[in-house]
Amino acid sequence: MTKDMHSNCDALLQSLSEYIDGSLSDEMCQEIRKHLETCGDCRVVFNTTRRTIDLVRMPPKEPESLPEDVRERLIKRLDLEGLLPARES
């Protein structure tokens, strides 16, 4: 059971950026939502990731408050580079 939970979490975390992106099928989204409802660990990761991705993607309302290099450093610090689609250097 613990093993199942873990592989479930693994699978979820791997699809997390796609889920946030909205590029998963309805079925997959439903599974992920169900898992998030029951798994506090993944929920924390999900919330953190979504907030960070939102922050990075949205143009800042006041450009001075979040300059480009700060955003880049934030991504690097949170190690989210791999989660952002199509930005391989």
Q: Is 11 in the site for Zn ion (CB under 5 A)?
A: no
Query: Burial, 12: exposed, middle or buried (Cβ in 10 Å; 0-12, 13-18, 19+)?
Result: buried
Determine the size of the site formed for Zn ion (CB under 5 A).
3
Residues between 37 and 56 that touch Zn ion (CB under 5 A): 39, 42
11: alpha, beta or left, given left = phi > 0 and alpha = psi -120 to 50?
alpha
Residue (23 or 38) nearer to Zn ion, CB? 38
Q: How far is the CB of 17 from Zn ion (least distance, A)?
A: 16
Residue 12, token pair as written in the block? 């979820």
Q: Is 16 in the site for Zn ion (CB under 5 A)?
A: no
Longest dimension (CA), the chain: 49
Q: How far is the CB of 10 from Zn ion (least distance, A)?
A: 9
The site for Zn ion (CB under 5 A) is made up of 9, 39, 42
